[in-house]
Structure 1
């Protein structure tokens, strides 16, 4: 009952192949075939097959490690290199996922085991960070006060760890102000989308400008031989 649903395909495959092999050996023994010699021959052949199919065997071994160490479970959203998606199941050779836009993804087990796995669903809480650039002529204190008011009046933002409000960068065209707040994992995307829009609206209402990239050009007048250039 503690087996994760994602590991079910792998466990079923292992049991099925084991039963097939045992059944075959029993049938051969019943009909009088020398199974001891057959097993020795199969063992010798297995070495050659194993060398030829080392990548395939690596996928099986990786699948077993994923099943026992459980870096993810069914329904978790993970990122592993270029592989992204929600886990559906771990098979004997590959792991199946579904991408955010509903595409079927089949990844070799060894590619998941051999690379760092980022599990977006594992932890109960997650930190939101929203950064907005304001004009150099606007007040950073006023902008940060608006952000603080938004966070303090939203009950879905957690009080611990404490939210943070600060000037994060003096960029080429803007002063970047940032707030960080912790939320439940299930609320992360909804609150990120909501308060990205809320900050924009509150800044507009307060007369705080969010500038677009710009560059200041100084023209110099030159006299003499180079004046006509």
Structure 2
């Protein structure tokens, strides 16, 4: 028994098995070291989530190369393995075209970095906070605490808005005042409201735009800037304060009005007349 074992250890088969084992162990070590090195290099320019994905990709690619070398030492033909892998890839490609498209789109998203974890984005009618960025999909949490999964292919093909990419945001308030109002007075009242609101930034300053003459009102756009974390509070507080300031100054915010003329049916001895009737539509 001992002689047979010694004879086998001295054989070429044992030598190949030893080399294959060494290659496998070296593969685990090299793949681990390379993935950690890639992580240290990329951490300065990419988010933690993207770094983890790149580390996994490098680890498994290097490990696959060492496994292929180990199999070659054991006598497996790489051409046969590559051929089988090619056939399998084609079959999987036809079976999972959507997944492959999402995978490629995910790589583009990781390289482009249009958003990061914690950002608030809007895709179509969905707005939410980014929870994870994976190779196949992006997960969001909406403001009403719903979990939404968006395929990466949809993100690449559609328009996406990052609401928190920059440190400040502008709020545009569209409002109308009655034709009898003094535009200069309206401007001063709105500027005073913005000046007294602590969430409004002084730089960039507020913008007052007279948009033109509407059907029932003088149309105005009043734009103010705020830090992105204060945007929602500013939007709510500013509108409430402007309404109170308008009421105090006697400035009217009109509702749509329509003037309807009703024609009366004339008798043979009467002439046709019209009587103007004004109808207010509070909608």
Q: Aligning the two structures, in what range does the TM-score lie when normalised by the shorter sequence?
A: 0.7 to 0.9
Mean CA deviation greater in 136-145 or 153-162: 153-162
Which of 241, 245, 260 is the equivalent residue of 1:217? 260
Distance 1:34 1:100 in 2: 56
Aligned length: 227
Which of 76, 81, 84 is the equivalent residue of 2:119? 76
Q: Which residue of 1 aligns with 2:202?
A: 159
Distance 2:59 2:124 in 1: 32
Q: TM-score by structure 2 length?
A: 0.70
Check conservation: 1:76, 1:87, Cα contact below 8 A: yes
Deviation at 1:15? 5.7
> Do residues 140 (structure 1) and 188 (structure 2) align?
no
* Residue correspondence of structure 1 range 164-175 to structure 2 within 5 A: 164-175=207-218
Q: TM-score by structure 1 length?
A: 0.84
Distance 2:235 2:204 in 1: 17
Q: Which runs of 5+ in 2 are unaligned?
A: 1-42, 273-283
Distance 2:55 2:134 in 1: 9
Q: Which residue of 2 aligns with 1:185?
A: 228
The structure carrying a bigger helix percent of its residues is 2
Mean CA deviation greater in 54-63 or 191-200: 54-63
Distance 1:154 1:130, change over 3 A: same
Check conservation: 1:9, 1:92, Cα contact below 8 A: no
Larger radius of gyration: 2
Q: Which residue of 2 aligns with 1:58?
A: 101
> Do residues 116 (structure 1) and 159 (structure 2) align?
yes
Mean CA deviation greater in 103-112 or 159-168: 159-168
Between the two structures, name the one with larger relative contact order (CA 8 Å, sep ≥ 6): 1
Q: Which runs of 5+ in 1 are unaligned?
A: none
Check conservation: 2:72, 2:78, Cα contact below 8 A: yes
What root-mean-square deviation, in Å, do the aligned CA atoms of Structure 1 and Structure 2 show? 2.7
Check conservation: 2:116, 2:130, Cα contact below 8 A: yes
Mean CA deviation greater in 59-68 or 125-134: 125-134
Check conservation: 1:50, 1:57, Cα contact below 8 A: yes
